[in-house]
């Protein structure tokens, strides 16, 4: 059987990216595919989709923002008589929507169902839904080749060691999709995977690399002899365990993404996090940075208690604490989350065009400001944070990895300028008005 696996882009136009991270899910599927089948992987951000390729099965993995593109491709392949299967986060939370465009949908994780799906297809008895909640992760899945990796700026290889999340945030569906209990890939399998990849730079995709401290200790000790460099995601409560911090640094940790959903203590108090005071956050940031780890904040704007003042307060917090890098996002009410259900129930959704659910477009009516204030405030904060003077001011506090720090911030500076240009061209009300608001900061 000839199998074509596709990761769609966000539109029909391929994006040009200076940093490309291979889509791990597609390579896991290839590794799960039994011998005797031929697998072709296409990442549309890198190369065009071969619509006329001779294949028996097309698998499309998508998130919410690229679901419309996945649906369009699915329809094109079905017109050509191909069998189409959809998987990924979006079809998992909206399988009935996916089934309107495909012959079958994989709900949740592919381990435990992929081989059965292929067998069913070969026997002419393909089912509409395939689901195996929380499959075990003990089996080693070989990843043979990462297509397009040589085109990436950082040449980082993705790896995942755990699934599941004990936190249950209103705006996130990871808890519901992967379960509240953390499941592990055996440490020996992770070590084998890192070695067989031939790489030296990795990104751990786990939602919280230290979510299970006992497993994290074993993992960090096991990968230390490999002399790799890696980045990952972690909660700031990581700072409370100095032994674990030291093990992470010694194993090659150069940077950590962390969620900074708010710098408001009233908002922090309502969240399911261990650190609920600004002073605790600042102490944790300094503790982690003292181990030579660059911190990269993921900031979310648009919560109901956010106001126009939130942007300046967030910028001041990030610069005051010399946070290495930051991604500035607009609250996105993804389907399947409590945030989505709340805003839909309150009739505050502005659109359900999934292409706009991309972290940077306002798709709902905010409570404390207008949609335009939210969009401009986010852009202003990003512009000021990536201002050259601010990048230089934070540099002395991020000298453990100066080239990494500068590369991150220069890239952010360039993409920010491009985003502002695009916003000014597309925003209603004229270019001059948008220029003035961005230059002066968010409206009070």
What is the pTM (predicted TM-score) of this model? 0.89
pLDDT of residue 288: 96
pLDDT of residue 344: 96
Task: Give the residue carrying structure tokens 């261990």.
Answer: 274
Q: Tens-digit pLDDT profile for the chain (444 aa)? A: 999 999 999 754 444 454 567 788 999 999 999 999 999 999 998 889 999 999 999 999 999 999 999 999 999 999 999 999 999 999 999 999 999 999 999 999 999 899 999 999 999 999 999 999 889 899 999 887 665 554 444 578 999 999 877 666 777 767 667 766 888 999 999 999 999 988 899 999 998 999 899 999 999 999 999 999 999 999 898 999 999 999 999 999 999 999 887 776 665 555 555 555 788 889 999 999 999 999 999 999 999 999 999 999 999 999 999 999 999 999 999 998 999 999 999 999 999 999 999 999 999 999 999 999 999 999 999 999 999 999 999 999 999 999 999 999 999 999 999 999 988 888 654 433 344 456 555 554
Q: Look at strands 183-184 and 83-87 and give their pairing.
A: unpaired
Task: Give the residue carrying structure tokens 């259900």.
Answer: 341
- Label residues 6-45 b or e (16+ Cβ within 10 Å = b): bbbbbeeeeeeeeebbbbbbbbbbbbbbeeeeebebbbbb
Closest CA relative to residue 31, chosen from 39, 22, 43, 21: 39
Query: At 405, which helix (H) or strand (E)?
Result: helix 402-426
pLDDT of residue 143: 85
Backbone conformation region of residue 159, classed left if phi is above 0, alpha if psi is from -120 to 50, else beta: beta
Q: Where are the alpha helices (DSSP H) in 224-337?
A: 242-250, 265-270, 278-289, 309-320
161 contact partners, CB below 8 Å, separation of at least 6: 184, 185, 187, 190, 204, 206, 209, 215, 219
Structural domains of the chain, ranges and CATH numbers in brackets:
2-131 (3.40.50), 149-440 (3.80.30.20)
Question: Which residues share a beta bridge with 271?
Answer: none
């Amino acid at each position: 059987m000839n199998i074509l696996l596709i990761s769609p882009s966000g539109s029909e136009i391929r994006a040009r990216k200076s940093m490309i991270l291979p889509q791990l899910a597609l390579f896991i599927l290839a590794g799960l595919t039994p011998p005797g089948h031929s697998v072709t992987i296409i990442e549309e951000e890198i190369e065009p989709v071969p619509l006329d390729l001779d294949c028996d099965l097309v698998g499309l993995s998508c998130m919410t923002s690229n679901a419309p593109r996945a649906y369009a491709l699915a329809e094109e392949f079905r017109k050509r008589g191909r069998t189409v299967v959809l998987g990924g986060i979006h079809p998992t939370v909206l399988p009935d929507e996916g089934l309107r465009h495909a012959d079958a949908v994989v709900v949740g994780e592919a381990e435990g169902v992929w081989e059965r799906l292929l067998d069913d297809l070969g026997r002419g008895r393909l089912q509409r839904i395939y689901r195996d909640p929380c499959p075990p992760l003990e089996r080693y899945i070989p990843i043979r080749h990462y297509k397009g990796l040589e085109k990436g700026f950082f040449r980082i290889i993705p790896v995942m060691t755990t699934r599941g999340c004990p936190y249950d945030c209103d705006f996130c569906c990871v808890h519901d999709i992967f379960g509240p209990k953390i499941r592990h890939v055996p440490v020996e399998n992770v070590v084998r995977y890192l070695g067989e990849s031939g790489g030296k730079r990795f990104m751990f995709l786990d939602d919280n690399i230290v979510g299970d401290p006992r497993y994290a200790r074993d993992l960090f000790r096991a990968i230390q002899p490999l002399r790799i460099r890696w980045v990952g995601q972690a909660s700031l409560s990581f700072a409370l365990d100095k032994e674990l911090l030291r093990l992470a640094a010694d194993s090659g940790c150069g940077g950590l993404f962390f969620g900074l959903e708010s710098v408001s203590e009233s908002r922090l108090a309502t969240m399911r996090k261990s650190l609920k005071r600004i002073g605790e956050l600042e102490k944790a940031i300094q503790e982690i940075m003292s181990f030579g780890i660059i911190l990269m904040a993921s900031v979310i704007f648009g919560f109901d208690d956010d106001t126009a003042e939130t942007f300046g307060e967030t910028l001041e917090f990030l610069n005051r604490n010399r946070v290495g890098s930051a991604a500035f996002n607009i609250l996105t009410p993804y389907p399947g989350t409590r945030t989505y259900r709340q805003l839909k129930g309150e009739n505050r959704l502005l659109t359900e065009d999934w292409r706009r659910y991309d972290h940077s477009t306002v798709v709902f009516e905010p409570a404390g400001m207008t949609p335009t204030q939210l969009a401009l405030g986010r852009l202003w904060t990003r512009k000021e944070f990536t201002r050259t003077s601010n990048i230089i001011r934070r540099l002395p506090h991020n000298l453990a990895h100066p080239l990494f720090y500068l590369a991150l911030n220069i890239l952010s500076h360039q993409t920010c300028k491009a985003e502002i240009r695009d916003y000014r061209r597309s925003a209603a009300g004229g270019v001059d008005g948008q220029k003035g608001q961005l230059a002066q900061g968010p409206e009070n």
